[in-house]
Amino acid sequence: MAIRKVARLGHPVLRQVAQPIPVNEITMDPVQRLIRDLTETMVEYDGVGLAAPQIFEPLRAFVMYVPPDPDAGFPGVPLTAWINPRLTIREGNTSLGWEGCLSIPDLRGKVERPLAVEISGLGPDGAERTVRYEGFPAVVAQHEFDHLDGVVFLDRMKDMSTLTYLREYERYWHTIDEDEEG
């Protein structure tokens, strides 16, 4: 296992379509090591998701982990690895929310995303599965899935006036958005 360097915006790997992982290779050491490296790197950088292209591997795999929030009654999403995922939008309702990216450090912007999605694909054991995500986990899944197609959150922003550095987001916008929710 290793903490890997994260590709930053401008590196070509972030703009290419990732290749599927052959099913017969999923349980082999290179793919298992990739999943461990994705997980360790995501944790090291305090992320909630990380796609293989972000660690210079143009393969269709990502990991995600959304910690529980007892105050909101949210149980969280356990560490989940997706290989060769397929994404389906499950309802028309959308939400405009702040996003950031480990490949675009220190920037945040508002992106409109569907509130419910379904991901189908393979797990690290090679077994097929389908999971429905709603709310923030749906956003995380869509964000990571986008990386597999060479898309970053900046491409999804409709209003670039919301683009801000993290420090200014924390200073000016984070508190305002919390007040609007409460």
Contact 107, 158 (CB under 8 A): no
Residue 134 is among the residues annotated as catalytic for this protein: no
Contact 55, 49 (CB under 8 A): no
Phi, psi of 96 (to 5 degrees): -100, 115
Out of 144, 170, 178, 180, which one is annotated catalytic?
144
Distances (CA, A) of 159 to 112, 129, 156: 10, 35, 9
User: Which residues are catalytically annotated?
Assistant: 144
